[in-house]
A and B are shown apart, each in its own frame.
Chain A
Amino acid sequence: MVIQGHDRDRLLLSVTKPTRYLGNELNSVHKDPASVQVRFALAFPDVYEVAMSHLGTHILYHVLNSRPDVYAERVFAPWVDMEERMREASIPLFSLESWTKAREFDVIGFSLQYEMGYANVLNMLDLAGIPLLASERANTDPLILAGGPCTLNGEPMVPFFDAMALGEGEGLVLDLVDAYLSWKQSGRPGGRRGLLSDLAAIDGVYVPSMYRVGYCKDGRVSSIEPGEGLPRTVRKRVVEDLDIAPFPLYPIVPNMDVVHDRVVLEVFRGCTRGCRFCHAGFTCRPVRERSPETLLDQARRILAATGHDEISLSSLSSTDYSGIKTLLDLLGEFEAKGVGVSLPSIRADAFSLSLAEQVRRVRKSGLTLAPEAGSQRLRDVINKDVVEADFLEAVAQAFQSGWNSLKLYFMVGLPTETGEDLDAMVDLVKRVREIHRAQGQKDRLRLTVSASVFVPKAHTPFQWEGQIPLDEVKRRQEHLARRLRMPGVKFSWHDAEVSFLEAALSRGDRRVARAVEGAWRRGARFDAWTEHFRLDRWLEGFEEAGLDPAFFANRPRHYDEVFPWDHIDVGLSEEFLMREHRRAMEGQKTSDCREEPCKSCGVCLELGVPMDIKGGESTGGSAHQGPAEETP
């Protein structure tokens, strides 16, 4: 224990929300460290409430602790007040369950969910007393791993990690533990280097120090060379059958209010809608569903183990789940006990709306719809399958069913966006208000219009696009804010500076790591929290590293450019992404491969894992029986 007794009490009483640090929640796992072979820290670079809302952390906690020879504990970023106390009193970063020093663990695995957590990773390593750079770590230092969506272009963070685990972690994390264990038990042959070569041999493990990157004079990447005996590309891992994949049936129940205080059922992974801006939509393929029966069984057990009163259906687009009707009927059994079901965000069509109405019998909740763009033209460019007439129809139906608060999600700065598209967004909002007025609804309309900023992401058809310059984003946001100033409408927009940084980091190469470190040294942390984010720290960090963030954020790329993530294989074929990019520029939609022939994105064949549709009333679809004819 880093600290105990009275001193621990005093420390806890001197910070806000001490329950963040107790580690004694219901269903938390406590083992005798002497009885295990591997101590694994699941690290999340954000504060407790955010970390505990991350399903992946719960899954890995369950998977690892199911093994008697492994003890997995949680290590989260201490909030700023706690960090201050810890630094004053020289208390190193510790695990929640046993308050053990993080640096005493065998393995620390960080979850990289968003770029704005990068500075926190460095801060946590520093608080733990572990050298930031993998190259400077000694044999006695823990193995530092990363997983999560950001590892699919983790280059700006690679110098800080010994290895990265690509794709879904259930099987992968156990392979990593096994390799670590056999290295440890056979007397650590070859030291750290030896361990890394063992890890590099595992499917889905990327050891960055074993790949050499070359650069052109203008700063673009010229080549990525694997070390001897290593493959040119490292492919992400996927779970084949979600019905038999492990899932935590006794999840930890936080003692405090967390973002998602409810039972989370993961109904499926992947998405085939193919919205061209969407990182998850392209990198989480193929679609694999859980069957309604498995989900019902999980719901029963998790409710009994936690006592929650809400079930949330988690996936990228839950109303697309083929067994959704069956599932909602099955979950109806909990209604009498006051347990409600929530659908986080639904498609704007009549079918989805009827589902939303069904679940609302138990719990009144707001309705969230995401048209993403104002004009049909731009929606075709991004391949968002929303038709204005259907959308307005759904809105009208929603008002009729008594919803008076509505949230609409849009994006600003999408490729090819013009003033007309922005005007169309304003017009769409006006139409929504008119419908409400025309229906003569008694209750006042509460319309929240929320606009995020488009960030081009790796492994999507828009990876070749540049983000529009920061000033221009701000100009468009202000223009919208002015035009959307109308009664009953609340317009909120995403911080343009945060989005600019996100764009610079998400497609950065490994030289950007120096900028991350520079920003952290200047005090950057909790960048996802508006009150802590300051762009100037990052600009200075980039400057110190001799790099221009605009080079990564705003520059359009040619088709022949070597990307910093070219050696990371998510199963998509490059021709497919290029074709999608070209079709976007031509305003051509591409249909969903669940409903129409396969678009040969490559995933199902490449990964050897077919699309898996479990529910009864599937809308058909021909999956991946070979490439379909494309209309150019």
Chain B
Amino acid sequence: MAQRIRARLRKLHDARFMSHLDLRRALERALRRAGIPVALTQGFNPHPRFSLATALPVGAGSDAEYAEFFLEGRLGPLEFAKALSGSLPPGIEVAEVMEVPEMGPSLEAQVRAASYRVSARCDETLAPVALEKAIEDLLSMDTIPVRKRGKEGRTHDARPLMHSLEVLSLDGGEVTIRMVLGVGPQGTLRPKEVMSLLSSRLEDRIDLGHIDVHREDLLLKGSPCKSQRSFCSKPHLMDAYEER
């Protein structure tokens, strides 16, 4: 009997600099090293069957890299976690593992939103009130047209993808904001885009050159959020999101 296992992985330290494709390949090799009986894809170049929920920009850390593995035969989730943990390259860790029904939509199709902790350098003169005001202004807008990535001249509405923004700290020329943003088939908004929207409301006082992004969690359709960190400070937003 086959089995489908979902794992939440962490990507920390130097592993942050691995691209999405690098991570895929690292997982492929880790599966083989661990001797996990993962199913192979059909065709001339068979590959282990697994999927990753969504890509992160290079340099971003994460407590929530979701992956699903299709196994041939059965292996308890705990055993799976142990085997995989022992084979991952430095900086990649297994945070939790669960079994999910074999049938059902793909992982990619279930992604809805992500929570990020985002830091950037900013002008020392940036006052907390000004920052809060800019956030309030942004959230009170009905639509926020932003340019579509890679498509010259086309825009999409960022507002419905902006679920919450919360200042975590503003100190000594560095600002940290928690943001919950839409990700997945319904649309994706990137932390950098939000920082840039904020900065433009603050006379460009946030340095967009180096933005530190850490993904804290990822919300999948129909799945309760299991990480310790509360996923969203305003849970009703997520309900609203599910309804759409």
Contact B44 A308, beta carbon cutoff 8 Å: no
Determine the chain A residues whose CB is within 8 A of the CB of B46 once the complex forms: 338
Q: A12-B17, A12-B59 are in contact. List 15 more A-B contacts (CB 8 A).
A: A13-B59, A18-B58, A24-B90, A24-B91, A25-B89, A26-B29, A255-B22, A257-B21, A304-B33, A307-B28, A307-B29, A308-B32, A309-B29, A309-B32, A338-B46
- Taking the complex as formed, is A482 at the interface, i.e. its CB lies under 8 A from any CB of chain B? no
Determine the chain A residues whose CB is within 8 A of the CB of B133 once the complex forms: none
Determine the chain A residues whose CB is within 8 A of the CB of B29 once the complex forms: 26, 253, 306-309
Chain B minimum-CB-distance residue to A309: B32
Known: A307-B29, A337-B32. A13 touches B58 (CB 8 A): yes
- Taking the complex as formed, is A303 at the interface, i.e. its CB lies under 8 A from any CB of chain B? yes
Known: A257-B25, A338-B40. A13 touches B31 (CB 8 A): no
Q: How many angstroms between the C-alpha atoms of A144 and B46 in the bound complex?
A: 46
Query: In the complex, what's the smallest C-beta–C-beta distance from B121 to chain A, in angstroms?
Result: 10
Q: Interface residues of A toward B: which range?
A: 20 to 34
- Taking the complex as formed, is A256 at the interface, i.e. its CB lies under 8 A from any CB of chain B? yes
Known: A338-B40, A364-B44. A18 touches B59 (CB 8 A): yes
Chain B minimum-CB-distance residue to A16: B58
Contact B31 A307, beta carbon cutoff 8 Å: yes
Determine the chain A residues whose CB is within 8 A of the CB of B199 once the complex forms: none
Chain A minimum-CB-distance residue to B41: A338
A-B contact count (CB 8 A): 68
Q: How many angstroms between the C-alpha atoms of A338 and B48 in the bound complex?
A: 9
- Taking the complex as formed, is B126 at the interface, i.e. its CB lies under 8 A from any CB of chain A? no
- Taking the complex as formed, is A575 at the interface, i.e. its CB lies under 8 A from any CB of chain B? no
Give B1-43 interface residues, CB cut-off 8 Å to A: 13-14, 17-19, 21-22, 25-26, 28-33, 40
Contact B58 A22, beta carbon cutoff 8 Å: no
Q: How many angstroms between the C-alpha atoms of A261 and B44 in the bound complex?
A: 18
Chain A minimum-CB-distance residue to B32: A307
Known: A10-B210, A13-B59. A307 touches B33 (CB 8 A): yes
Q: How many angstroms between the C-alpha atoms of A405 and B155 in the bound complex?
A: 44
Chain A minimum-CB-distance residue to B119: A6
Contact A18 B17, beta carbon cutoff 8 Å: yes
Q: How many angstroms between the C-alpha atoms of A364 and B45 in the bound complex?
A: 7
- Taking the complex as formed, is B87 at the interface, i.e. its CB lies under 8 A from any CB of chain A? yes
Contact A9 B59, beta carbon cutoff 8 Å: yes
Contact A255 B59, beta carbon cutoff 8 Å: no
- Taking the complex as formed, is A591 at the interface, i.e. its CB lies under 8 A from any CB of chain B? no
Contact with B along A4-22 (1 / 0, CB 8 A): 0000011011000011001
Determine the chain A residues whose CB is within 8 A of the CB of B32 once the complex forms: 303, 307-309, 337
Query: In the complex, what's the smallest C-beta–C-beta distance from B202 to chain A, in angstroms?
Result: 22
Known: A12-B59, A24-B90. A255 touches B40 (CB 8 A): no
- The CB with the most chain B CB atoms within 10 A, among A25, A253, A309, is that of A309
Q: How many angstroms between the C-alpha atoms of A309 and B44 in the bound complex?
A: 13
Classify the interface of chain B: helix, strand, loop or mixed.
mixed
Q: How many angstroms between the C-alpha atoms of A210 and B164 in the bound complex?
A: 73
- Taking the complex as formed, is A447 at the interface, i.e. its CB lies under 8 A from any CB of chain B? no
Q: How many angstroms between the C-alpha atoms of A606 and B97 in the bound complex?
A: 63
Chosen A-B contacts, 22 in total, with CB atoms closer than 8 Å, are A12-B17, A13-B210, A18-B17, A19-B18, A19-B19, A22-B14, A24-B13, A24-B90, A26-B29, A255-B22, A256-B19, A257-B22, A261-B25, A303-B32, A306-B33, A307-B28, A307-B31, A308-B29, A309-B28, A309-B29, A338-B47, A363-B44
Q: How many angstroms between the C-alpha atoms of A256 and B15 in the bound complex?
A: 11
Chain A minimum-CB-distance residue to B40: A338
Q: How many angstroms between the C-alpha atoms of A531 and B28 in the bound complex?
A: 33
- Taking the complex as formed, is A578 at the interface, i.e. its CB lies under 8 A from any CB of chain B? no
Determine the chain A residues whose CB is within 8 A of the CB of B58 once the complex forms: 13, 18
Q: How many angstroms between the C-alpha atoms of A257 and B25 in the bound complex?
A: 9
Contact B45 A363, beta carbon cutoff 8 Å: yes
Determine the chain B residues whose CB is within 8 A of the CB of A308 once the complex forms: 29, 32
Contact B14 A26, beta carbon cutoff 8 Å: no
Q: How many angstroms between the C-alpha atoms of A173 and B79 in the bound complex?
A: 44
Contact with A along B185-218 (1 / 0, CB 8 A): 0000000000000000000000000101000000
Determine the chain B residues whose CB is within 8 A of the CB of A338 once the complex forms: 40, 46-48
Q: How many angstroms between the C-alpha atoms of A255 and B45 in the bound complex?
A: 21
Contact with B along A353-394 (1 / 0, CB 8 A): 000000000011000000000000000000000000000000
Chain B minimum-CB-distance residue to A337: B32
Contact A24 B22, beta carbon cutoff 8 Å: no
- Taking the complex as formed, is A305 at the interface, i.e. its CB lies under 8 A from any CB of chain B? yes
Contact A22 B17, beta carbon cutoff 8 Å: yes
Determine the chain B residues whose CB is within 8 A of the CB of A26 once the complex forms: 29, 89-90
Determine the chain B residues whose CB is within 8 A of the CB of A25 once the complex forms: 89
Give A252-295 interface residues, CB cut-off 8 Å to B: 253, 255-257, 261
